[in-house]
Chains A and B, each alone.
Chain A
Amino acid sequence: AQKVTQAQTEISVVEKEDVTLDCVYETRDTTYYLFWYKQPPSGELVFLIRRNSFDEQNEISGRYSWNFQKSTSSFNFTITASQVVDSAVYFCALSEAHTGNQFYFGTGTSLTVIP
């Protein structure tokens, strides 16, 4: 079964629009970690954020914000005032405490920001 689901395969927005990338996860662990990574065309994974399962506070970092809701097992990512440089594939990932830091990645959302 897929542990991390990113239902949006591709999204296109016009520059300066806001965009939300959805992520739904599945786990039986009480201790787990959620991540978002950005993968530009060059391929490397750029770390954006990590949340642990005990911290449901939403977080804002510049134009990025994350909404963690355990009740719906979701960890959504919003980019405000999108820019062309935000164009990339974004991956949501889950790490469970009992599996020793193995990452389960979603299928990714390809974001294209149109100038």
Chain B
Amino acid sequence: GAVVSQHPSWVICKSGTSVKIECRSLDFQATTMFWYRQFPKQSLMLMATSNEGSKATYEQGVEKDKFLINHASLTLSTLTVTSAHPEDSSFYICSAPTGTGTEGTEAFFGQGTRLTVV
């Protein structure tokens, strides 16, 4: 089956630094990828939609200047948390659909990245 690889799986960084998280679709092309954030014991909340060849679409309340998204190719999207602060500590997970809504949706999720800002 389709595989989405997310890297790193965990990272600890100092407050004020930036962290880049990669999401790759390994055996299929994804023009769209989604980034979610999950705080402890909470659900996954969509942060933004990453679009290959165009700007990302951010959900309300998500700072686009803080969470930079770049969909560099049909198999790679990156999320950069800039000037990270302790409140950014969370579990970040990406997903990539393999079809369109009318054809049938199959979404595969990366393994997630646990970010801890100290």
Contacts and interface: CB of A to CB of B under 8 A. Distances in A.
A97 B95 CA distance: 16
A72 to B, nearest CB: 22
Contact of A31 (B34, B45, B101, B111): B101
A100 B100 contact: yes
B49 interface: yes
Contacts of A91: 43-44
A101 B107 contact: yes
A97 B49 CA distance: 15
Interface stretch (A15-23, A40-48, A56-64, A79-87): A40-48
Interface string A88-115: 0001000111111111111110100000
Contact of A99 (B36, B101, B109): B101
Interface residues of A, number: 26
Interface in B29-84: 32, 34, 36, 41-46, 49
A31 to B, nearest CB: 7
Contact of A107 (B36, B42, B107, B109): B42
Interface size class of B (residues with CB under 8 A): 20 to 34
A108 B91 CA distance: 15
A105 B101 contact: no
Given A100-B32, A100-B101, A103-B34, A47 B108 contact: yes
B43 A96 contact: no
A44 B9 CA distance: 10
A103 B111 contact: no
9 contacts: A33-B105, A44-B109, A47-B109, A50-B105, A52-B104, A95-B101, A95-B107, A101-B32, A105-B36
Interface of A: 31, 33, 35, 37, 43-45, 47, 50, 52, 91, 95-108, 110
